[in-house]
Amino acid sequence: MGIAESRISQLQDRVAGLSVPASAWNAKNRAAAVERLQSMGLPAPRDEYWRFTDPKSLNAIEAPKAALFDPKETDVFDTIDRLEIVFVDGVFDATASDELSGSNMSIERLSDAEGQDTHWTADCYGALEAIGQTPVQRPFAALNTAYATDGVLIHVTGKVEKPVNISYRHANETSDAILHHVIKLEEGAELTLLENGPAAARFNKSCEVFVADRATFHHVRTQGRDHERRAVTHIFADLGTESVFKSFTLTANGALTRNECVLRLNGDDATAHVAGASVGDGDFHHDDTVFITHDAVGCESRQVFKKVLRNGATGVFQGKILVKPDAQKTDGYQISQSLLLDDDSQFLAKPELEIYADDVACSHGSTSGALDEEALFYLCSRGVPKDQATDLLTLAFLAEAVDEIESDTLSDLIVDKLEGWLERHRP
């Protein structure tokens, strides 16, 4: 059996237990995704794009078991006035959720919408994912579009004051969840999306975001808690003229997290910032894979990823900036750094620039280093205990990523979470 056939047969086994939900308006989108997936097959460890992250546990038929972990903390966004939507192991929890309504937006569950005859998402569902399959294939995103059991569809027509918070709880040790969200911001609209929680033993989540001209989308999420959980997530976004897209992710714990972010800057003077802070101890594998395409004039993109790794944890960064021939005056910045707190941990990075326009300013850098011993001694010599000094320096290292969060209230919550995590994970 050749490689191609083995991939396909592996795929048949992988999806055998999944079914495509029926829907009048979404059937063609779902079927197209099934077709895309069939033509790609599942990723293999020898694939260039999966060189640093073994897809085995994501390819496995059953989700590997993940014990529940209760750090005895409140949820990160509890103090925020928000519209909360709760999924437990990928299943919508009506009791725990707020009423799905808000001014300047329509908000609905995918599974409810699919029962209707027509829907505004008919042209959106799977559309960005399909485009995002070139030039690099993303099989788990196609799988998601094809088999997602639910999700949230948000159509934003103006400024939405209260953030929408999708909260993912994990209650079953072998749960395998697939959710797909679609968010469409009309011209000048504004939305903040918050996401938090461990979600499931294995979680495949996709979020497609259409940001029209002059619209603003802010996204802050945390992925944490359960040490054995696994997740593969995709964000696909298209950005219109003068639109703003900012996404920040805090990841703590987790046996495997692969966060892909695929952005296209299609309108002039658009801004896209993607940032991530991740902290891992021991059996932790975290992968940020970003692909940003500049296809318009005068756009700015920033990627800021920081990782703190200890006790054999692994961090991966694959980040690409592609500047199309007409994307003059592009300003692209990319930095990925890791702080290795011991010799057992590793950081694997593949930064890439591919530039076809001549008038651009793009820079990228990737570093890996230990704590600054001189700084540590300086702090200790002033009476700061070594543990506390280490935490201070670690937070300082992460600050450039956390500072990408626009709202001080939200960034303070993220810093609180980080402080708590660092305190619990002192050597």
Partner 1 sequence: MLEIKNLQVSLAEEDKEILKGVDLTVEAGKVHAIMGPNGSGKSTLSYVLSGKDGYEVTGGSASLDGEDLLELEPEERAAAGLFLAFQYPVEIPGVGNMTFLRTAVNAQRKARGEDEMSAAQFLKVVRERAKTLKIDSDMLKRPVNVGFSGGEKKRNEILQMAMLEPKMCILDETDSGLDVDAMKLVSEGVNALRDEGRGFLVITHYQRLLDHIKPDVVHIMANGRIVKTGGPELALEVEQNGYADILAEVA
Contact footprint for partner 1 (CB under 8 A): 372-375, 377-386, 388-389, 392-393, 395-397, 399-400
Residue placing its CB nearer to partner 1 in the complex, 131 or 399: 399
Q: Minimum CB separation from partner 1 for residue 339, in Å?
A: 11
Q: Minimum CB separation from partner 1 for residue 372, in Å?
A: 8
Q: How far apart are CA 163 and CA 148, in angstroms?
A: 24
Nearest to 46 by CA among 35, 54, 38, 36: 54
Q: Minimum CB separation from partner 1 for residue 125, in Å?
A: 42
Q: Which two tokens stand for residue 423?
A: 């305190």
Residue placing its CB nearer to partner 1 in the complex, 62 or 387: 387
Q: Minimum CB separation from partner 1 for residue 246, in Å?
A: 21
Residue placing its CB nearer to partner 1 in the complex, 131 or 393: 393
Residue placing its CB nearer to partner 1 in the complex, 2 or 383: 383
Q: Minimum CB separation from partner 1 for residue 393, in Å?
A: 7
Nearest to 286 by CA among 325, 305, 309, 314: 314
Place of tokens 């919508």: 92
Residue placing its CB nearer to partner 1 in the complex, 176 or 391: 391
Q: Which two tokens stand for residue 226?
A: 């359960």
Q: Minimum CB separation from partner 1 for residue 247, in Å?
A: 22
Q: Minimum CB separation from partner 1 for residue 336, in Å?
A: 17
Residue placing its CB nearer to partner 1 in the complex, 51 or 386: 386
**Cα dihedral: 254, 191, 335, 52 (round 10):** 30
Q: Minimum CB separation from partner 1 for residue 224, in Å?
A: 22
The backbone torsions φ and ψ at residue 309, rounded to the nearest 5 degrees and listed phi first, read -125, 135
Q: Minimum CB separation from partner 1 for residue 340, in Å?
A: 17
Residue placing its CB nearer to partner 1 in the complex, 357 or 392: 392
Whether the CB-CB separation of 275 and 301 falls below 8 Å is answered with: no
Does 385 sit behind a cis peptide bond, omega within 30 degrees of 0 on the bond before it? no
Q: Minimum CB separation from partner 1 for residue 383, in Å?
A: 4
288 to 42, 220, 256, 350, 375: CA distances (angstroms)? 19, 15, 11, 10, 29
Nearest to 251 by CA among 426, 402, 62: 402
